[in-house]
Amino acid sequence: MDAWQKQLAAAITEPGEISARFGVDVEPLREVVARYPLRITPHYLSLIEAPGDPIWRQCIPDPQELSDHRQAPDPLNEEGLSPVPGLIHRYPDRVVLLVSNACAVYCRFCMRKRQVGCGSRNTNRAAALDYIAKTPAIRDVILSGGDPLLLSDDELADILSRLRTIPHVEMIRIGSRVPVTLPSRITSRLCRLLKRFHPLYLNTHFNHPRELTPHAAAACGRLADAGIPLGNQTVLLKGVNDDPAVMKRLMQGLLAIRVRPYYIHQLDLVRGTGHFRTGVRRGLEIMEGLRGYTSGLATPYYVIDLPGGKGKVPLLPDNGEWRGNRLLLRNYHGECIEYEDLG
């Protein structure tokens, strides 16, 4: 068993382990975990300094997850945009292929909270690959899940090899949080495997400066040394990173480990995540705290992924039209979409 598999096997999955370690009441945790599963690797658990801190909030179940009824399980209409199970075709030239239903840590703000870790995913991989092969407009395939890097090396190589036999697939992207939560997964063998399939890009997911550990930096260094361009997608989270100074430290720290800040996401309107929500105006204040105060390389796009699968829209302090708590935004189709700011 590899070191990363031992870490995964040692992950906390039972509320009683949290109660014993931190002295918190176990019953509220059990109620949440009965609906939304728990998993925390020893590495990520070691980053918690105190209950309620930015790392705790991201991984420890919270009873507020069960009292959020205002938002939708699938606000981005991923299931409606799936021509075959496990494939999301939202934009004309790219698709998301869901290859895993598991993560090393189950983030409490997950955009696929309804699915990830909740039993088997209804994915027809053969049909998804056949759809990609028969759709010449698709030039970009994004592997997501769950976390694609929790697959075995052999299974991952099989998927990548099959995609590389499709002539019109020009590039492959992988979305993975394991450089943050399970950095030992980024082995030299894995990097040699990924290097065979260029052009291949990897977007990871750091949300707080304390996640930029030496182990995470080493994992990103191995990927970068394999020629894999690294980007980062941060989610704006209340009580975690909704502060201009914290966000600036995170973005600067990412560049120091050769990861380019790509997106700051306004939290999707996913049921069970409302306690993490900040207002859009706060996100714009954070962008104002980055622009001009640090390198342009450290200034990502701040985006809203519009409900209903209408696509991502970048926000700047001076764009969009406010109507009370509603923001009127224009998407890439030229449609004007009204976005309700629930923060």
Catalytic positions: 90-91, 94, 103, 107, 110, 112, 268, 305, 312
Can you tell me the distance from the alpha carbon of 286 to that of 261, in angstroms, rounded to the nearest whole number? 14
Q: Which helix (H) or strand (E) holds 338?
A: strand 336-340
**Which residue has 């699915």 as its token pair?**
115
Give the sign of the dihedral formed by CA 271, CA 276, CA 281, CA 284: negative
Query: Is the Cβ–Cβ distance between 117 and 39 less than 8 Å?
Result: yes
Burial string for 177-191 (b: 16+ CB within 10 Å, else e) reads bbbbbbbbbbeeebb
Q: How far apart are CA 220 and CA 291, in angstroms?
A: 25
| Lateral strand order in the sheet of 260-265 | 87-91, 94-98, 140-144, 171-175, 200-204, 230-235, 260-265, 301-306, 311-315
Cα–Cα distance measured from residue 197 to residue 179, given in angstroms and rounded to the nearest whole number: 19
> With contact defined as beta carbons under 8 Å apart, do 191 and 157 qualify?
no
